[in-house]
Amino acid sequence: MRTSPPTSWAARVGRFSFRVYCALVLLFLAAPVVIVVPLAFSSADFLRFPPPSYSLRWFNNFFSRRDWMEAAANSFKIGFLTAGLATVLGTAAAYGLVRGRSKRKEALYAFFISPMIVPNIVFALALYYLFSRLRMVGNMWSLVLGHTVLALPPVIIVLSASLQSVDYALEQAAMIHGARRLRAFFEVTLPLILPGMVTAALFAFLVSFDDLLIALFLSGSRAVTLPKRMWDGVRLEIDPTVAAVALLVMLLPTVILVMAALLRKRAMGRGGEKATP
Amino acid sequence: MTAPAQPRHATGATVRLTNIHQRFGDVVAVRDVNLEVQAGEFLTLLGPSGSGKTTTLNIIAGFLEPMTGEVYINEEPATFKAPHLRNIGMVFQNYALWPHMTVFQNVAFPLRMRRESRADIRKRVEETLAMVRLQGLETRLPRQLSGGQQQRVALARALVFSPALLLMDEPLGALDKKLREQMQLEIKHLQKTLGITVIYVTHDQEEALFMSDRVAVTNAGTIVQIGTPVDLYNRPADRFVADFIGESNFLSGKVQSVDATSSCRLVTDGGSVFQGMLGHPAQPGDAVVAAIRPEKIRLQQTGGPSAEENTSQGSIVEVIYLGDWVKYRIELTSGETIVVKVPDRSGDEVHRVGSHALLAIAPRDVMVYHE
Amino acid sequence: MTVKGELAAHPTNREGHRERARPRRKRWSLETLILVPILAYLAVFYVYPLARILLLSVYGPRLTFDHFLRMVTVPVYTQVLMRSFRIALLVTVLSLVLGYPVAYLLSNLKPRQVALLMPVILVPFTISVLVRSYAWMAILGREGLVNTLLLGWLGLTQQPLEILYNEFGVLLGMVHILLPFFILPAYSVMIRIDRDLLKAAYIMGATPARGFLEVFLPLSLPGIIGGGLLVFIQALGFFVTPALLGGPQDTMISMLIELQISQLLNWGFAAALSSVLLIATLGGFMLLTRIVRVSILWGEAR
């Protein structure tokens, strides 16, 4: 979109170098992600780039060792539980925020979002204090409860947007024509925010799956998660298995993003927005 | 005030509002509203945006609890009753059709909530869809329908369970003119056939006058006048109503004398003297404004003035030809400008700019209000 | 439902309606009650633990400010604090320099082009910090990508560059991870700037440079400040990246906290450090909410 007047030669050079600059920055953003791919297939014993040769050695290692597999299983379990809990709590919260008539909405919204801002290390420490008192270190549920707090912000953000696109008149129409409040919610609102809920759940899962700091403190020995195991792998042994795991872990969010995008397309098509006459 | 005509089948509900008051923060949305709607009546709440009509409707529907006042439906207290227990049908401004349900499912919803049998539901949905002339579209989704069709689905949904009361919140606003007029006719006809009570909200005064048995004009949260369309048009209660409904010329002036029958004599700022009817009590010397509808002014070319009529004269400064009417903007000798509306009957010539005009106005058509 | 033949004469509200005795219903609507679960949950698992930690920094078993004193008197610790703020500031400035042009470019592109480039920013954003930091280790290490390129292929240097396990590596890694946190809010704000305002400036005689400086830049300020604050707040509390990419002389607050607990079990001091970090962060966030409506920052991001 051109808003500037016709250019001189100097201006054109300027614009060109500007574009190059931006391209470099974007490259800077994308490059590291790409690096992991050849690395995961490297046959070398340590971090060496470019890899001397390629092999599936580290993938084998990952799938065959019990500690890696247990960590992966834990991460998935905790992730699913977090997704479930956060989505239920978050949907209720979003509904109260969007449909409520309180003057404190902005403040409440900021409060619910704040776990994103509080430094993870501080929160992890606080949870460690709480759960060590309750003797729940190494218990999977302490991780679920902690991750849920972190997962609530993205869930609420996504669901607020989703709810706002559903006209309140739709619920009113249901109520005036005979449906109780709760019935109206399940018949009308819920089906329309379902894509949003699934997206929110996916993001919640991701937040839990990627968390390191809370796991660092609360994993103990019985609830080791994948990031915790990777962390040990990087600090204690220079184990290239981490590269293989990293690649697999990277695929997950990409898949989730694609699913979320597809869901959004479907939601648009179903006309979940306010009815336009 | 003439009483509303009684419908043939009086199965509609009565609605009564007493002392309704509602405030949102600092804004008073509804102020001391008292309203009685007869069974089977078509009553319209008419007013500019923000005048409280939609809020009042929401209170009747039960989406809002008024701060003070009571709502009675069929003389039973309903102020705190949940919306789903009031047995009211409602058509919303944007139709509020559920996008994830088919036409059939939308219309069947109220019956499903009332736990009717499958067979009954099917029968009544089909009947109602036929009544609004939408048969054959049961399996469509709302987004596959045109605006007019969506409107009729909303109507069918609100009528399928034979409610005694129907609320309509500016349902025709989004339709184009021809479609709107057609729907007005259909809704009116349906209402008379079914005999249900309708409370209709609109800001379109032509629509209100056309469809209603009675109209309640709202302004700034209160009802300023309630009456039949004829009453409202010919006897506006105050300047606001005179201005809001139809067109009026407004001439400022002072009261010269008043007599017992509420007729008065006034002198306009320009010096013209008119005999008129007072809209509310006034004293000689009060600053007032005279409202005169353009079509009530007679051009004397069609006959001399009678003894009671006011007379005035001036020259035509603008001619606006509207097809069925001709409007003349006339500058009176007293300096003020007045608009006269005359039907275009074949045989009458259209007067030209600059020609002299002699005007005659009956005193009962000069409504006088405080400034 | 029966129809009343005539309406009763107006009874006033004061008499004749037995139901009047019922008081007005309380205003505990569904919308308010539905917030109870999340409020209760956050109170127990979020507010309480944090409050407890704050308390711990001054109380346990007695009221004491020793921990805070330690922070400012012992040189090692003071250095850690200073370093954290310095690095956070550097990261913010770098993010601004790198991110502003990109946000500007994006805000001028057609939606189709934006849809193509956005994934470049968003996809790395969703990959865990751990993985991305690890990738930087592979890039900056002695045998990593950069050194292999410079040494082996291009022959520009004789010895491998020491760009890992020092501040350079830390800065690079942190900027990489926090850059989207600047770009997205800045983009959000920029895209809302009415281009007609720029056109008006041009037609009245401003050069493109002038138009940018006098019109666009000031209008994009909320985005800059919002994004910058967001980056700064997060950079302060960063753990993973400095821990992996930095050397022992690059210890930041978060790492110190972890050390105090995992190795020294010094709860009081760790709590004190946490309090400083928390208050600095929350203070920054309060500032942020005053300057920019927080919801704008998420407007386009997700």
Q: Do C3 and B18 touch (CB under 8 A)?
A: no
Please tell me the least confidently modeled range out of A62-76, A258-272, B130-144, C120-134: A258-272
- Residues found in chain C: 302
Return the SS3 of B45.
Answer: strand
- What tokens appear for B49 in the block? 């945006």
Q: Which of A1, A3, A225, A245 to mutate to test the interface with C (most CBs of C within 10 A)?
A: A3
- Tokens 């804004």 appear where? B27
User: CA of B151: which chain A residue's CA is closest?
Assistant: A277
pLDDT value at residue B2: 42
Provide the pLDDT confidence category of residue B167 given band limits of 50, 70 and 90: very high
B161 touches chain A (CB under 8 A): yes
Return the SS3 of B185.
Answer: helix
Provide the pLDDT confidence category of residue C162 given band limits of 50, 70 and 90: confident
Question: Looking at per-residue confidence, does A123 or A99 come out higher?
Answer: A123
Please tell me the least confidently modeled range out of B30-34, B129-133, C63-67: C63-67
Please determine, for residue B6, whether its predicted confidence score (pLDDT) is greater than 50: no
Please determine, for residue B34, whether its predicted confidence score (pLDDT) is greater than 90: yes
Domains of chain A in start order, with CATH, are 67-269 (1.10.3720.10)
Report yes or no on C46 lying in a domain. no
Interface pTM (ipTM) of the complex?
Answer: 0.84
pLDDT value at residue C289: 75
Report yes or no on C143 lying in a domain. no
Return the SS3 of B125.
Answer: helix
Q: Are strands B273-278 and B366-370 parallel, antiparallel or unpaired?
A: parallel
Report yes or no on C43 lying in a domain. no
A10 touches chain C (CB under 8 A): no
Provide the pLDDT confidence category of residue B10 given band limits of 50, 70 and 90: very low
Burial A249-268, CB ≥16 within 10 A → b, else e: bbebbeebbeebeebeeebe
User: Which ranges in chain C belong to alpha helices (H)?
Assistant: 30-33, 36-42, 48-56, 66-73, 75-108, 111-126, 129-140, 145-147, 167-190, 195-203, 208-211, 217-236, 240-245, 253-262, 267-291, 294-299
pLDDT value at residue B301: 67
Report yes or no on C260 lying in a domain. yes
Please determine, for residue C143, whether its predicted confidence score (pLDDT) is greater than 70: yes
Report yes or no on C160 lying in a domain. no
Between chain A and chain C, the number of residue pairs with CB atoms below 8 A apart is 246
Question: Looking at per-residue confidence, does A48 or B276 come out higher?
Answer: B276
pLDDT value at residue A7: 63
Report yes or no on C275 lying in a domain. yes
Residues in contact with B12: Cβ distance below 8 Å, sequence separation at least 6, in sequence order: B38, B39, B40, B41, B164, B165, B195, B196, B197, C3
Residues in contact with C180: Cβ distance below 8 Å, sequence separation at least 6, in sequence order: A29, C121, C122, C124, C125
Chain B positions contacting chain C at CB under 8 Å are 10-14, 16, 18-19, 36, 38-39, 65, 70, 74-75, 77, 80, 87, 164
- Residues found in chain B: 371
Total domains present in chain C: 1
**What kind and span of H or E run contains B311?**
strand B310-321
Alpha carbon distance B330, B360 (integer Å): 13
Which residues from C are below 8 Å from A228, CB to CB? none
Alpha carbon distance B249, B247 (integer Å): 7
Please say whether the beta carbons of B319 and B328 come within 8 A. Answer: yes
Tell me which residue of C176, C187, C282 sits closest to C227, measured CA to CA. Answer: C187
- Tokens 């019922």 appear where? C22
pLDDT value at residue B285: 87
- Tokens 């009962």 appear where? B364
Report yes or no on C157 lying in a domain. no
User: What average pLDDT does the segment C30-42 reach?
Assistant: 89
Provide the pLDDT confidence category of residue A275 given band limits of 50, 70 and 90: very low
pLDDT value at residue A74: 93
B90 touches chain A (CB under 8 A): yes
Chain C positions contacting chain B at CB under 8 Å are 1-4, 7-8, 10, 13, 17, 19, 22, 24-25
Rounded to a whole number, what is the distance in Å from the CA of B212 to chain A's nearest CA?
23
User: What average pLDDT does the segment B175-188 reach?
Assistant: 92
For the ranges A31-40, B124-133, B268-277, C67-76, the one whose mean pLDDT is highest:
B124-133
Please say whether the beta carbons of C273 and C260 come within 8 A. Answer: yes
Report yes or no on C190 lying in a domain. yes
Q: Calculate the CA A14 to chain-centre distance.
A: 39
Alpha carbon distance A230, A238 (integer Å): 10
* Residue A180 main-chain phi, psi, to 5 deg: -70, 165
**DSSP 8-state class, residue B213:** S
Domains of chain B in start order, with CATH, are 15-241 (3.40.50.300), 247-370 (2.40.50.100)
Rounded to a whole number, what is the distance in Å from the CA of A43 to chain B's nearest CA?
54
* Residue B252 main-chain phi, psi, to 5 deg: -80, 150
A-facing residues of B in 240-269 (CB < 8 A) are none
Tell me which residue of B310, B306, B364 sits closest to B338, measured CA to CA. Answer: B310
User: For every residue of chain A, which 3-state class applies, written as one string?
Assistant: CCCCCCCCHHHHHHHHHHHHHHHHHHHHHHHHHHHHHHHHCECCCCCCCCCCCECCHHHHHHHHCHHHHHHHHHHHHHHHHHHHHHHHHHHHHHHHHHHCCCCCHHHHHHHHHHHHCCCHHHHHHHHHHHHHHCCCCCCHHHHHHHHHHHHHHHHHHHHHHHHHCCCHHHHHHHHHCCCCHHHHHHHHHHHHHHHHHHHHHHHHHHHHHHCCHHHHHHCCCCCCCHHHHHHHHHHCCCCCHHHHHHHHHHHHHHHHHHHHHHHHHHHHHCCCCCCCC
Please say whether the beta carbons of A154 and A200 come within 8 A. Answer: yes
Tell me which residue of B267, B307, B257 sits closest to B290, measured CA to CA. Answer: B267
Alpha carbon distance C302, C298 (integer Å): 7
pLDDT value at residue C3: 33
pTM, rounded to two decimals? 0.79
How distant, in Å, are the alpha carbons of A170, B132, B203, C37, C171 from that of A277?
14, 18, 18, 38, 54
CATH number of the domain residue C243 falls in: 1.10.3720.10
Please determine, for residue B310, whether its predicted confidence score (pLDDT) is greater than 60: yes
Return the C-alpha torsion angle A12, A18, A23, A25, nearest 10.
170
Question: Looking at per-residue confidence, does C197 or B216 come out higher?
Answer: B216
Q: Do B65 and C25 touch (CB under 8 A)?
A: yes
| Count of other CB atoms within 10 angstroms of residue A11 | 15
Please determine, for residue C294, whether its predicted confidence score (pLDDT) is greater than 60: no
Provide the pLDDT confidence category of residue B132 given band limits of 50, 70 and 90: very high
pLDDT tens track for B210-251: 999 999 999 999 999 999 999 999 889 888 999 999 889 999
User: Which ranges in B218-322 belong to alpha helices (H)?
Assistant: 229-234, 239-244
Please tell me the least confidently modeled range out of B37-41, B194-198, B328-332, C22-26: C22-26
| Count of other CB atoms within 10 angstroms of residue C70 | 17
User: What average pLDDT does the segment A51-77 reach?
Assistant: 83
Q: Is B231 buried (19+), middle (13-18) or exposed (0-12) by CB count in 10 A?
A: middle
Query: In terms of residue numbers, what domain contains C72?
Result: 52-109+175-299
Residues in contact with B341: Cβ distance below 8 Å, sequence separation at least 6, in sequence order: B247, B294, B295, B297, B325, B326, B327
Please determine, for residue C19, whether its predicted confidence score (pLDDT) is greater than 70: no
Q: Calculate the CA C61 to chain-centre distance.
A: 35
Rounded to a whole number, what is the distance in Å from the CA of B161 to chain C's nearest CA?
13
Please determine, for residue B303, whether its predicted confidence score (pLDDT) is greater than 90: no
Rounded to a whole number, what is the distance in Å from the CA of A112 to chain C's nearest CA?
8
pLDDT value at residue C301: 36
| Count of other CB atoms within 10 angstroms of residue B235 | 16
Strand partners, B287: B254
C-facing residues of A in 37-76 (CB < 8 A) are 39, 46-50
Q: Is the peptide bond before B99 cis (omega within 30 degrees of 0)?
A: no
- What single letter denotes the amino acid at residue C246? G
C1 touches chain A (CB under 8 A): no
Alpha carbon distance B152, A277 (integer Å): 12
User: What average pLDDT does the segment C230-242 reach?
Assistant: 92
